[in-house]
Amino acid sequence: MSPTVDGFTFDPATFYDITVRDDNESCTNFGQTFDAPCVYSNAGTPRIQCGRCGKPMTIIAATRLDPQPEVS
Ligand SMILES: [Zn+2]
């Protein structure tokens, strides 16, 4: 069974277009959303950290890239 992160199911070793939101109230990015257009899922658990507070951001949308990018 594929792992889930924040309610989304991710295949391992797959690239996704992911939208994240900072839910850390003490961060200047709180409530803002960010688009990460090419995120590798690793073992099926992609994590995107906030560049300001360093906390993992909440995934609010995820789309499997089609076609998958070439890995060089
Ligand atoms: Zn933050």
Inside any domain, residue 69: no
Nearest-angstrom CA–CA distance, 67 and 4:
22
Report CA(20)–ligand 1 centroid distance (Å).
11
Give DSSP secondary structure letters for 8-31: EE--TT-EEEEEEE---TTSTTTT
Report CA(16)–ligand 1 centroid distance (Å).
21
Report CA(59)–ligand 1 centroid distance (Å).
13
Inside any domain, residue 51: yes
Is this prediction's pTM over 0.85?
A: yes
Q: How many domains in the chain?
A: 1
What's the domain range around 24? Answer: 4-64
pLDDT per position as a tens digit, 28-61: 999 999 999 999 999 999 999 999 999 999 999 9
User: Average per-residue pLDDT in the chain?
Assistant: 95
Inside any domain, residue 48: yes
Report CA(57)–ligand 1 centroid distance (Å).
7
Inside any domain, residue 71: no
